[in-house]
Amino acid sequence: MNSGPDRTGDTPALVAQRVSKAFGDTVAVREASFEVERGEIVALLGPSGCGKSTTLRVLAGFEQPDDGVVQINGEIAVGPGVWKPPERRRIGMVPQDFALFPHLSVAENIGFGLTDGHRAWWTRPVRRLRRAQAPARVHEMLELVGLHDFAERYPHELSGGEAQRVALARALAPEPAAVLLDEPFSNLDQNLRASLRLAMRNILKAANTAAVFVTHDREEALSLADRVAVMRDGRIEQIGPPDDIYYRPETRFIGTFVGDANILPGERTRGGAQTELGFVVLADLPSESTGQTVDVLLRPEQLALKPCRDDGPGCANVISSEYYGHDQVVRVRLRSGVEVEARLRTEVVWHPDDPVDVIVLDDAIAFPR
């Protein structure tokens, strides 16, 4: 199985360059630029209304951008003077509701894209060949998504997770350059989502196709994607690997959107910042901003607690603790009244009013006020 994106110098499978789209006065997408390599999974993550679905629809050809260029396998799909309709783009789509044909079996659903004649990117001889090869390709796709024994079932006989895999197999069957997935887990049981995420990632990696999926769920984006593009107000504010987005967010918005965050006021000093929790080392900071007032971002798992020795006014106090078994989230009020959350292991269980010292375990990041 191929586990990483293919960065061998080939043309990226998908390129969006300064794509913009407005609906009347509402600018849905502003100069969005990104590339997706073959075998790479990119998440478009952001709050409701930030332009994720519109970006996906522009890539698929369901929406015409006002500006910008989309290239698929090195060919311009839309750009100045160029417009290819959806059926002429090498794109596979997995809609939010999976949109399986209820009167077709699983195998027929998967084979539909091979025999329906809508794949206008195929030349006539290729189409003839594809028709002949369709049964073998359907078989291959059933194997890929682990549904070989389900070939004769109908959509109403499938669980949500199985229906999702059929939709994915149908999108992948015609060997698209890229597959686009619109909120692929939103119709599925919350408890199943984590295991289905891994299954989907494995299928996409085995297929070695570029994939872009839209989500407003940060866990989904961080766990499934190779790179995450965080959108806000139509712009891609940052794109990068999940750990970059989580631990090195470029803006305060991203820092607080992609994970739980404590924000502490601080003052920049050499190599770090002075905060109520003492000196905190800052990662990636320009040296000239000493003295600047900053907001220091610390993830709850970057904090630890220890019993406060004096049990006096110098101590912070536990306000509440939520016990989850594998960990606990303890809310603490600092002397100044600022509240922070620590995500801790559970060897020590903390209780309201416990006097504590809060310790910073890692380098933090800071944003100018």
Question: Which one among 20, 43, 53, 225 touches ligand ATP, defined by CB under 6 A?
Answer: 53
Instruction: Report the C-alpha gap between 32 and 55 in whole angstroms.
Output: 8
Amino acid of residue 259:
G
Instruction: Name, in order, each residue with C-beta under 8 angstroms of 364's C-beta and a sequence gap of 6 or more.
Output: 272, 273, 280, 281, 282, 283, 296, 297, 298, 302
> What's the Rg (C-alpha) of the chain?
25
Provide the minimum distance between the beta carbon of 28 and ligand ATP in the complex, in angstroms, as a whole number: 3
The span of 35-43, 44-52, 186-194, 289-297 binding ligand ATP (CB under 6 A) equals: 44-52
Q: Is 51 in the site for ligand ATP (CB under 6 A)?
A: yes
**Would you say 54 or 302 has its CB closer to ligand ATP?**
54
**Would you say 89 or 216 has its CB closer to ligand ATP?**
216
Question: Which one among 6, 11, 35, 49 touches ligand ATP, defined by CB under 6 A?
Answer: 49
Q: Which of residues 197-216 bind ligand ATP (CB under 6 A)?
A: 216
The span of 42-50, 74-82, 297-305, 313-321 binding ligand ATP (CB under 6 A) equals: 42-50
Provide the minimum distance between the beta carbon of 24 and ligand ATP in the complex, in angstroms, as a whole number: 7
Strand partners, 35: 15
Q: Is 48 in the site for ligand ATP (CB under 6 A)?
A: yes
Provide the minimum distance between the beta carbon of 54 and ligand ATP in the complex, in angstroms, as a whole number: 3
Instruction: Give the angle 233-234-237 at the CA atoms, nearest 5°.
Output: 80
Q: Is 293 in the site for ligand ATP (CB under 6 A)?
A: no
Paired tokens of 34? 């990104």
Contact string (CB under 6 A) for ligand ATP, positions 21-40, x = contact: --x--x-x------------
**Would you say 16 or 365 has its CB closer to ligand ATP?**
16
**Would you say 25 or 284 has its CB closer to ligand ATP?**
25
Strand partners, 214: 44, 182
Q: How far is CA 302 from CA 137, 220, 346, 348, 364, in A?
A: 49, 22, 15, 17, 8
Question: Which one among 13, 34, 41, 52 touches ligand ATP, defined by CB under 6 A?
Answer: 52
Contact string (CB under 6 A) for ligand ATP, positions 216-245, x = contact: x-----------------------------
With beta carbons less than 8 A apart as the criterion, state whether 271 and 264 touch. no
The span of 47-55, 67-75, 217-225, 237-245 binding ligand ATP (CB under 6 A) equals: 47-55
The span of 41-49, 104-112, 159-167, 312-320 binding ligand ATP (CB under 6 A) equals: 41-49
Q: C-alpha 311: how far from its chain's center? A: 44
**Would you say 99 or 263 has its CB closer to ligand ATP?**
99
With beta carbons less than 8 A apart as the criterion, state whether 291 and 268 touch. yes
Give the count of residues interacting with ligand ATP (CB under 6 A).
Answer: 12
The span of 33-41, 51-59, 281-289, 359-367 binding ligand ATP (CB under 6 A) equals: 51-59
**Would you say 6 or 233 has its CB closer to ligand ATP?**
233
Question: Which one among 46, 111, 155, 242 touches ligand ATP, defined by CB under 6 A?
Answer: 46
What is the side-by-side strand order in the sheet with 355-360? 303-307, 355-360, 316-323, 328-333, 339-344
Sign of dihedral through CA atoms 252, 256, 257, 258? positive
Residues at the site binding ligand ATP, with contacts judged by CB under 6 A = 23, 26, 28, 46, 48-54, 216
